[in-house]
């Protein structure tokens, strides 16, 4: 019985690199070849398999390409391992540390898509503490919230956001109206929901107000909890527009200004040097970037 020939290894490496990096030029740079060589290898592989692997516009894998990519990823991972390094048939394990509100708003609603696309990856999510370099256990990837510049880690910007004062409709009816929430009178006389993750001092500076960080009022170390408190009538919170979209879209919170503040804090994906060489880490990183709003 005739056996189907195995595609050339350089074609498989090129296919995996282009799918992971979504760029022929970046794949060429990583593989130390020319862009034309990348294109030739992809055409060679497609001709060998008899299927189209990519959507030509943005290197998004076709359905056949995505299915084949999973097989190629497993095969290349196995080839990279030393004999006896991992028992045959053991699923690759991926541990991701993620901040609570980011996980609830952006990761969990789309996680079924990741499971569907990468069913062989055994994923573990664990909570990380925003603005601190603390995680419960060692993780392959970390989603951190802060100012960036993490020592000894490579990182990628995931989500930058604008913040705006917001409160519940009931609080606005009782204590409003507000004129942009940009005056000393409004900010100093109104109950403020506080969080070290989004200091009010940034908003005061944005409005040119000589006010210190408030020392009184309900305080929460999780942004989602702060937004829930504001929706429950505790006062006005400084709410990130993308992270807080569910509260705004549902009408639980109403924005009080049309001049949002570009927050100095952002969400970053962080990893130790070399971690993205593991195909499961690269797969999660690319998937996460693709599903963010």
Which DSSP state fits 219? B
Strand partners, 268: 144, 157
Distance (Å, whole) CA 28 – CA 17: 9
Q: Give the burial class of 41: count Cβ atoms within 10 A of its Cβ; 0-12 exposed, 13-18 middle, 19 or more buried.
A: buried
- Rounded percentage of the chain residues whose pLDDT exceeds 70: 92
pLDDT tens digits for range 131-144:
765 554 688 999 99
Return all residues near 211 (Cβ < 8 A) that are at least 6 apart: 184, 187, 188, 200, 201, 204
Q: With H, G, I as helix, E, B as strand and everything else as coil, classify residue 98.
A: strand
Residue-level pLDDT at 245: 96
Closest of 52, 72, 71 to residue 62, by C-alpha? 52
Using pLDDT thresholds of 50, 70 and 90, give the confidence band for residue 1: very low
Pairing verdict, β 54-55 and 60-61? antiparallel
Q: Is the pLDDT of residue 45 over 80?
A: yes
Residue 218: other Cβ atoms inside 10 A: 17
Asked which of 9-13, 150-154, 244-248 is least confident by mean pLDDT, the reply is 150-154
pLDDT tens digits for range 63-120:
888 888 888 888 887 777 665 555 455 678 899 999 999 999 999 999 998 888 888 8
Q: Is the pTM for the entire model greater than 0.75?
A: no
Residue-level pLDDT at 67: 81
pLDDT tens digits for range 209-260:
999 999 999 999 999 999 999 999 999 999 999 999 999 999 999 999 999 9
Locate 190 and state its tokens. 């109104």
Closest of 126, 144, 123 to residue 136, by C-alpha? 126
Distance (Å, whole) CA 212 – CA 214: 6
């Amino acid at each position: 019985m005739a056996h189907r020939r195995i595609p050339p290894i350089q074609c498989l490496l090129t296919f995996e690199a282009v799918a992971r990096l979504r760029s022929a030029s970046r794949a060429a740079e990583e593989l130390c070849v020319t862009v034309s060589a990348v294109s030739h290898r992809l055409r060679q592989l497609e001709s060998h398999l008899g299927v189209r692997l990519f959507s030509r516009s943005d290197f998004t894998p076709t359905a056949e390409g995505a299915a084949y990519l999973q097989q190629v990823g497993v095969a290349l991972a196995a080839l990279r391992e030393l004999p006896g390094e991992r028992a045959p048939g053991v699923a690759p394990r991926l541990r991701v540390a993620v901040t609570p509100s980011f996980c609830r708003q952006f990761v969990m609603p789309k996680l079924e898509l990741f499971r569907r696309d990468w069913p062989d990856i055994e994923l573990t999510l664990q909570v990380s503490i925003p603005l601190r370099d603390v995680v419960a256990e060692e993780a392959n990837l970390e989603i951190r919230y802060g100012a960036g510049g993490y020592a000894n880690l490579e990182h990628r910007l995931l989500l930058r956001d604008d913040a705006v004062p917001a409160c519940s409709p009931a609080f606005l009816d009782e204590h409003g109206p507000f004129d942009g929430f940009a005056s000393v009178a409004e900010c100093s006389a109104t109950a403020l929901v506080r969080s070290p993750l989004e200091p009010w001092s940034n908003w005061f500076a944005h409005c040119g107000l000589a006010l210190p960080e408030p020392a009184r009022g309900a305080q929460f170390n999780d942004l989602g909890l702060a937004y829930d408190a504001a929706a429950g009538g505790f006062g006005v919170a400084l709410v990130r527009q993308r992270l807080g979209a569910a509260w705004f879209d549902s009408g639980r919170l109403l924005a009080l200004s049309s001049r949002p503040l570009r927050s100095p804090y952002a969400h970053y994906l962080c990893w130790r040097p070399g971690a993205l060489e593991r195909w499961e880490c690269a797969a999660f990183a690319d998937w996460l970037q693709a599903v963010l709003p």
